[in-house]
Protein backbone atom coordinates (compact mmCIF):
# COMPACT_ATOMS: atom_id res chain seq x y z
CA UNK A 1 0.00 0.00 0.00
CA UNK A 2 1.52 3.31 -1.06
CA UNK A 3 0.97 6.80 0.37
CA UNK A 4 -1.68 7.73 -2.22
CA UNK A 5 -3.62 4.52 -1.43
CA UNK A 6 -3.68 5.46 2.25
CA UNK A 7 -5.02 8.95 1.51
CA UNK A 8 -7.67 7.52 -0.84
CA UNK A 9 -8.93 5.23 1.95
CA UNK A 10 -9.49 8.10 4.39
CA UNK A 11 -13.18 8.39 5.30
CA UNK A 12 -13.12 12.16 4.70
CA UNK A 13 -13.57 14.48 1.74
CA UNK A 14 -13.49 18.20 1.04
CA UNK A 15 -14.14 20.38 2.96
CA UNK A 16 -13.20 18.14 5.90
CA UNK A 17 -10.08 16.47 4.51
CA UNK A 18 -6.93 17.85 6.18
CA UNK A 19 -4.26 15.71 4.51
CA UNK A 20 -2.35 16.97 1.47
CA UNK A 21 0.43 14.41 1.56
CA UNK A 22 2.50 11.88 3.45
CA UNK A 23 6.28 12.30 3.55
CA UNK A 24 7.26 9.14 5.45
CA UNK A 25 5.46 6.21 7.01
CA UNK A 26 6.60 3.10 8.87
CA UNK A 27 5.44 0.72 11.57
CA UNK A 28 6.61 3.24 14.18
CA UNK A 29 5.26 6.53 12.86
CA UNK A 30 4.26 8.93 10.13
CA UNK A 31 5.09 12.42 8.88
CA UNK A 32 2.60 14.27 6.70
CA UNK A 33 1.47 17.78 5.83
CA UNK A 34 -1.46 20.06 5.10
CA UNK A 35 -1.71 23.60 3.75
CA UNK A 36 -4.51 25.63 5.34
CA UNK A 37 -5.99 27.52 2.39
CA UNK A 38 -7.16 31.10 2.93
CA UNK A 39 -10.69 30.29 1.72
CA UNK A 40 -11.40 27.51 4.26
CA UNK A 41 -14.95 27.93 5.62
CA UNK A 42 -13.96 28.21 9.28
CA UNK A 43 -11.86 31.35 8.67
CA UNK A 44 -15.00 33.38 7.92
CA UNK A 45 -15.95 33.59 11.58
CA UNK A 46 -12.84 32.76 13.56
CA UNK A 47 -11.87 35.62 14.32
CA UNK A 48 -13.36 38.76 12.70
CA UNK A 49 -10.75 40.48 10.50
CA UNK A 50 -8.00 38.30 12.01
CA UNK A 51 -8.58 34.68 10.92
CA UNK A 52 -6.88 31.95 12.96
CA UNK A 53 -7.26 28.19 12.55
CA UNK A 54 -9.43 26.83 15.38
CA UNK A 55 -7.74 24.41 17.78
CA UNK A 56 -10.36 21.77 17.05
CA UNK A 57 -9.36 21.88 13.36
CA UNK A 58 -5.67 21.60 14.26
CA UNK A 59 -6.54 18.58 16.40
CA UNK A 60 -8.53 17.06 13.52
CA UNK A 61 -5.62 17.58 11.13
CA UNK A 62 -3.27 15.88 13.58
CA UNK A 63 -5.74 13.00 14.04
CA UNK A 64 -6.24 12.49 10.30
CA UNK A 65 -2.52 12.34 9.57
CA UNK A 66 -1.02 11.15 12.84
CA UNK A 67 -3.62 8.56 13.81
CA UNK A 68 -5.91 7.60 10.92
CA UNK A 69 -3.32 7.45 8.12
CA UNK A 70 -0.96 5.51 10.39
CA UNK A 71 -3.77 3.17 11.47
CA UNK A 72 -4.68 2.43 7.85
CA UNK A 73 -1.04 1.63 7.17
CA UNK A 74 -0.78 -0.65 10.21
CA UNK A 75 -3.95 -2.51 9.18
CA UNK A 76 -3.09 -2.51 5.48
CA UNK A 77 -3.62 -6.24 4.95
CA UNK A 78 -7.09 -6.27 6.53
CA UNK A 79 -8.10 -2.96 4.91
CA UNK A 80 -7.03 -4.13 1.44
CA UNK A 81 -9.75 -6.76 1.67
CA UNK A 82 -12.54 -4.57 3.05
CA UNK A 83 -11.63 -1.17 1.48
CA UNK A 84 -13.85 0.38 4.17
CA UNK A 85 -11.95 1.24 7.35
CA UNK A 86 -13.98 2.44 10.32
CA UNK A 87 -12.30 4.75 12.80
CA UNK A 88 -13.43 6.18 16.13
CA UNK A 89 -11.43 8.78 18.03
CA UNK A 90 -11.40 7.64 21.65
CA UNK A 91 -9.36 10.35 23.38
CA UNK A 92 -7.02 13.27 22.86
CA UNK A 93 -5.02 15.69 24.94
CA UNK A 94 -3.47 18.71 23.24
CA UNK A 95 -1.28 21.63 24.21
CA UNK A 96 -1.27 24.65 21.87
CA UNK A 97 1.64 27.09 21.57
CA UNK A 98 1.33 29.09 18.32
CA UNK A 99 -1.50 30.09 15.96
CA UNK A 100 -1.84 28.73 12.44
CA UNK A 101 -2.86 31.38 9.91
CA UNK A 102 -4.45 31.11 6.46
CA UNK A 103 -2.07 29.87 3.74
CA UNK A 104 0.21 28.27 6.32
CA UNK A 105 1.61 24.80 5.72
CA UNK A 106 1.89 22.53 8.73
CA UNK A 107 3.79 19.28 9.18
CA UNK A 108 2.56 16.58 11.52
CA UNK A 109 4.98 14.10 13.10
CA UNK A 110 3.42 11.14 14.87
CA UNK A 111 5.13 8.37 16.81
CA UNK A 112 3.25 5.20 17.69
CA UNK A 113 3.13 4.57 21.41
CA UNK A 114 1.02 1.42 21.33
CA UNK A 115 -1.06 -0.53 18.81
CA UNK A 116 -2.91 -3.43 20.37
CA UNK A 117 -6.34 -4.99 19.74
CA UNK A 118 -6.83 -2.39 16.96
CA UNK A 119 -6.45 0.51 19.41
CA UNK A 120 -3.75 2.98 18.43
CA UNK A 121 -2.24 5.67 20.64
CA UNK A 122 0.25 8.17 19.22
CA UNK A 123 2.33 11.11 20.36
CA UNK A 124 1.78 13.83 17.77
CA UNK A 125 3.43 17.17 17.08
CA UNK A 126 2.56 19.90 14.59
CA UNK A 127 5.18 22.27 13.19
CA UNK A 128 4.71 25.40 11.06
CA UNK A 129 6.79 26.26 7.98
CA UNK A 130 9.44 27.83 10.24
CA UNK A 131 9.75 24.45 11.98
CA UNK A 132 8.31 25.94 15.19
CA UNK A 133 6.22 23.72 17.44
CA UNK A 134 2.57 24.75 17.05
CA UNK A 135 0.98 22.08 19.25
CA UNK A 136 1.56 18.60 20.59
CA UNK A 137 -0.34 15.90 22.37
CA UNK A 138 -1.55 12.33 22.54
CA UNK A 139 -4.34 10.94 20.35
CA UNK A 140 -6.01 7.52 20.62
CA UNK A 141 -8.48 5.74 18.38
CA UNK A 142 -10.07 2.39 17.56
CA UNK A 143 -9.98 0.82 14.10
CA UNK A 144 -12.12 -1.77 12.38
CA UNK A 145 -11.14 -2.99 8.93
Closest listed residue to residue 138, CA positions, set 113, 117, 119, 106: 113
46 given a catalytic annotation? yes
The CA distance from 11 to 84, in Å, is 8
Backbone angles phi, psi at 47, to 5 degrees: -105, 165
Specify whether the CB–CB gap between 60 and 15 falls below 8 A: no
Q: Kindly name the residue from 1, 17, 20, 46 that is annotated as catalytic.
A: 46
Helices first, then strands: H and E counts in the chain: 4, 6
Residues designated as active site:
46
Amino acid sequence: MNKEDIISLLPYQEPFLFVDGIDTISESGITGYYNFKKDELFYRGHFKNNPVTPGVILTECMAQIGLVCLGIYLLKDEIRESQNPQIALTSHQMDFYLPVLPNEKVTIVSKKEVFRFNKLRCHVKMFNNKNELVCKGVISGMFKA
